Structure 1
Amino acid sequence: MKLPGPLHVFNEGLAFLLELAALAVLAWWGWDAADNVALRLLLAVSAPAVAAVTWGLFAAPKARIPLPLPGVLAVKALVFGAAALALHALDHPSAALAFAVVALLNTALATADRQAAMRRGA
């Protein structure tokens, strides 16, 4: 299913915002996960850094290590799932569910759109 132009642009923008939100939530979780300030800083920096590096290596459009589609989807599920779990751990279960549903729908639409574009040679 090829998305119409404006919906394609909207979905791609939403994907970027979801990626940024995942990093922010992971940083928030890291800060909240410990009492010691040094450990808070370590977790608040390292949790989103690990997610960003993993995404950049395997799931980004210009990934350093290109994976087949199932691998890319697994990385996206890992990062978005970690963010949803972090929101839940931060006592925001409704936000966690909403984030997970929006990320899932966005990824499904983007995947279908990209596959349709590849079939058409675009």
Structure 2
Amino acid sequence: MRGTLRGLIFLLELALLTAAGFWGFTLDAGWPVRLLAGLGAPLALAVAWGLFCSPRAAVALPAPAKLAVQAACFLVGGVLLALAGHPLPGVALVIAWTADKALLLHSGDPA
């Protein structure tokens, strides 16, 4: 069960990065701004995730703080999808992450 939940959370992390890129590339702005936002937003989320949330994070946070950063990242992804005109997928992303994370924590997995 844990393996499936971990696999799902990895796919959700990829969906988070995709959502951020989608938002950037769909902005109602010139091509340079869309390119910067479409590449920069997922990069910023990936850097934050790598620094604070990955198993080999550069900054070791206590479990509650790590969970808060993860939740913030997924909330940002949900908001970005909503801003791109897709609020239901944004809500679904946040709910799917919350459910998967709750099941992982309930199973004793700190990931």
Shared fold, TM over 0.5: yes
Q: Deviations over 1:42-77 (max 9, x none)?
A: 001110001000000000111111100111111111
Corresponding position: 1:114 with 2:109: yes
Q: Which of 18, 26, 33 in structure 2 is aligned with 1:32?
A: 26
Partner of 1:15: 9
- Taking the aligned partners of 1:39 and 1:91, their CA distance within structure 2 comes to 18
- Taking the aligned partners of 2:2 and 2:66, their CA distance within structure 1 comes to 19
Q: CA RMSD in A?
A: 1.2
Corresponding position: 1:83 with 2:77: yes
- Taking the aligned partners of 2:11 and 2:5, their CA distance within structure 1 comes to 10
Structure 1 moving runs of 4+ over 3 Å: none
Q: Deviations over 1:56-111 (max 9, x none)?
A: 00001111111001111111111110111111112222212211111101112223
Q: What percent identity do the matched residue pairs reach?
A: 35
Q: Tell me, which stretches of 5 or more residues in structure 1 are unaligned?
A: 1-6, 116-122
Q: Which of 52, 55, 58 in structure 2 is aligned with 1:58?
A: 52
Deviation at 1:9, TM superposition (A): 0.9
SS in structure 2 at match of 1:47: helix
- Taking the aligned partners of 1:78 and 1:62, their CA distance within structure 2 comes to 19
- Taking the aligned partners of 2:20 and 2:86, their CA distance within structure 1 comes to 13
Given the two structures, how large is their TM-score scaled by the length of structure 1?
Answer: 0.84
SS in structure 2 at match of 1:56: helix
Q: Which of 96, 102, 105 in structure 1 is aligned with 2:96?
A: 102
